[in-house]
Amino acid sequence: MIAIRIEDAVAITDTGHEVLSAGAPRNFAEIEALMKQDGILQIIKR
């Protein structure tokens, strides 16, 4: 069994908070799909 730990990044302001990592992948399928995409190094080489 493989386990991962996901932590949110949260910005706290005078008027409340914002979850900065809300769009991050949360399950194995989403993470695998993201890993199949080109990263910044592949994009720069184009």
- How many folded domains does the chain comprise? 1
- The pLDDT, as a whole number, for residue 6 is 86
For residue 27, tell me if it sits in a domain: yes
Asked if residue 34 is part of any domain, the answer here is yes
For residue 3, being part of any structural domain is answered with no
Q: Is residue 14 part of a domain?
A: yes
Segments forming the whole domain that contains residue 40: 10-44
In a domain, 38, yes or no: yes
Would you state the pLDDT for residue 30? 92
What percent of the chain has pLDDT above 70? 100
pLDDT digits (tens, 9 = 90+) for 27-43: 889 989 999 999 988 88
Residue entry with tokens 């695998």: 32
